[in-house]
Amino acid sequence: MGRIFNRSDKQHRPKLSQELIAFNNDGIPSGGITAGIGFTIAWHDGPTHQRDGDIAEQNGALEMDLLQVTSRVLEAKQKSLLGCSEMIAAIQSIQYSLKCLGRMNTRISKELKDEWDKSQSRIDEQSEGSGIAEGAEAESSQRLEDH
C-alpha cells in the first residue's frame, strides 16, 4: 500500500526517483528522462527550431507542455473546495512563465529565420555570379547547424 502523507510530515513531497538529462556538445540539455512517483517524462531531444525558424517536429515533452498541464490541474483544483489565494498565485505564476517562454520561442524563431534569409540571399548572390551554389549552400547549412 502506498504511503499516506499528512501536513505534519516534513518529508511529504516525494523526491525524483530518476533524472537522466542528456547534454549536447555545447552543454545544452538535449533529451533525457525524469521520473518520480506517478510520472515519467521523456524530454524532447534536439533543437526545437529548424534552421529556417520553423518549429521542429517534437519527439518528447517540452517545458511548456508540463507547465500547461500543471496549470490545468491547478485550475481544476481551484474550482473545488481546495481553491485558495495561494493556488491563484501559483496559477498566475505558471501562466506568466508560459508567456515568457512563448516570447522566447518567438524571438528564437525570428532570429533563426532572419539568419536563414540572410544566408539564402548570400547563396543566391553567389550562385548568380559563380555557379557554385551547392558548395555555398552546404557551407551555409553547416554554419546554421552549428548554432
71-106 pLDDT, tens digit each: 999 999 999 999 999 999 999 999 999 999 999 988
Residues above pLDDT 70, as percent of the chain: 71
Bridge partners of 19, per DSSP, are 34
Written as nine digits, the cell of 58 is 517534437
